[in-house]
Amino acid sequence: KDGYKVLVLGGGSGGSAVAAHYCRKLGKDQVAVIDPSEQHYYQPMFTLVGGGLRSLQDATQPEGQVLPQGVAWLRSAAAEIDADSSTVTTADGRRLRYEYLVVATGCQPKWDSVRGLPEALGDGRVVSNYSPKYAPLTFEALKDLKQGHAIFTMPKGTVKCPGAGHKVCWLSEDYLRRHGRRPAVKVTYVTPSARVLGLQRYLPTIERITQERDIAVVPSTHLVEVCGRQQEAVFDCLDASGTPTGQQRVMHYDLLHVTPPHVPAPAVANSSLADAGGWLAVDKETLQHLRYPNVFGIGDCCSLPTGKTAAAAAAQFLVLRDNLDALMAGSLQQDSAAKYDGYTSCPVVTRQGRVMLMEYGYDGVIMEMFSKLGIDQSQEQYLMWLVKTLVLPAAYWALMTKGYDARSILQLAP
């Protein structure tokens, strides 16, 4: 078969939801997913994997079990998208036609944006939670760290779930403290920003944590090189606009956790669907492509000015579904279209047993679901820890990847 009513590129968080919904709606063999990955990862759990609180297995299901049986799963990467002829060519040379295209290819860490990082990653000291290959090694390195200096870095540019670069720092510090090693290990968080966190509502809690727990915050500083052999990290110092001042700073490390900048999949970036930065150019409210009406986008691949998270993809799914359903029915109108408000969330794990659940939309508008129950979401909470570790993974596997409203489990969705 070389043509499908709905073709979905990428079967991750967003793509699996879309595929499941349209398989139910349209029936067997109408929907195809192109994705080379045999495994489906619940990536929010990588933070707990890196902290030694879950195994990688807990975060993984075979892709073949996640996608419904009626969906054709083509185990290859999309190599070329020709939106003018409504076709996609796969890396293994198949050419597929579509009536509607949903792009859900996520984004990828760009490890080689830091000199020496690809060589040093996984050497026992240089780690990153941003990949299923390396997340388990974070905990291995943490277990081995008896003394010295642990450094956690954030990059300039786009990052998938930027909060994950924080959480690993707070959770690692908590581990070292609980194991009596804290007096012997200095902990440093390095960020290109002027402050540790952008959102004013949540900033005081993070500032209190860094002060009370003696975590050094180094602002306006950006990792450019890792010298694995010498255990040295080289940083550019930045001015207020984020431009390098020409000064550099070298820090010795015994553990270095790197949050890498992220880029879109080359197939998207090189296609006519991309904006100037290579991201999928969709309308930020309707999620419909700005130039090709039969193309929609969901998740990290999109040009949306909000945090790239699974929670965002869950909210986007409901909008995309309504608008694509309406387009198929011939009734999609700009004024009555469903609109995405930029909702995203980040459960900041501040220590084992505590989470501060940040929820916001476009322009940093706070959109908290639990505050209507009288819960102060600007504080660390045990209840939010239960939401993060129990409720959200269950909602992800049972609802989101199956094409249902993942937020309905909370019965709190606005």
The residues that are catalytic are: 161, 346
Residues facing residue 314 across a β-bridge: none
Written as six digits, the tokens of 119 are 């060589």
Contacts of 117 (CB under 8 A, 6+ apart): 111, 126, 226, 258, 260
Q: Which amino acid is at 65?
A: Q
Q: What residues between 336 and 365 interact with ligand FAD by CB under 6 A?
A: 347
Written as six digits, the tokens of 7 are 């073709």
- The helix (run of H) or strand (run of E) holding residue 138 is helix 135-144
What minimum distance in Å lies between the beta carbon of 306 and ligand FAD? 11
Per DSSP, the residues of 13-45 read HHHHHHHHHHHHHH-TTSEEEE---SEEE-GGG
**Which residue's CB is nearer to ligand FAD, number 12 or number 361?**
12
What minimum distance in Å lies between the beta carbon of 42 and ligand FAD? 7
How far is residue 157's CA from residue 121's CA, in Å, rounded to a whole number? 20
Residue nearest to ligand FAD (CB): 12
Q: What residues between 202 and 231 interact with ligand FAD by CB under 6 A?
A: none
Rg (CA), the chain: 21
What minimum distance in Å lies between the beta carbon of 11 and ligand FAD? 5
Q: Which amino acid is at 110?
A: K
Q: What residues between 139 and 178 interact with ligand FAD by CB under 6 A?
A: 160-161, 164
Reference 399, options 342, 314, 339; nearest CA is 314
Contact with ligand FAD (CB under 6 A): which of 12, 68, 136, 192?
Answer: 12
Q: Which amino acid is at 63?
A: E
**Which residue's CB is nearer to ligand FAD, number 127 or number 238?**
127
Contact with ligand FAD (CB under 6 A): which of 71, 78, 141, 287?
Answer: 78
Burial class from Cβ neighbours inside 10 Å (0-12, 13-18, 19+) for residue 8 reads: buried
Q: What residues between 279 and 338 interact with ligand FAD by CB under 6 A?
A: 299-301, 308-311, 313
**Which residue's CB is nearer to ligand FAD, number 171 or number 217?**
171
What minimum distance in Å lies between the beta carbon of 241 and ligand FAD? 28
Residues facing residue 217 across a β-bridge: 189
Instruction: Give the number of residues in contact with ligand FAD, rule: CB under 6 A.
Output: 35
Q: What are phi and psi for residue 153, nearest 5 degrees? A: -115, 150
Q: What residues between 98 and 127 interact with ligand FAD by CB under 6 A?
A: 104-106
How far is residue 208's CA from residue 206's CA, in Å, rounded to a whole number? 5
**Which residue's CB is nearer to ligand FAD, number 265 or number 332?**
265
- Taking CB under 6 A as the binding criterion, the range among 10-18, 190-198, 319-327, 397-405 that sits at the site for ligand FAD is 10-18
What minimum distance in Å lies between the beta carbon of 357 and ligand FAD? 10
Question: For ligand FAD, what does the binding mask look like between residues 32 and 51, x meaning CB under 6 A?
Answer: --xx-x-----xx-xx----
Residues that bind ligand FAD (CB under 6 A): 9-15, 34-35, 37, 43-44, 46-47, 77-78, 104-106, 129-130, 160-161, 164, 265, 267, 299-301, 308-311, 313, 347
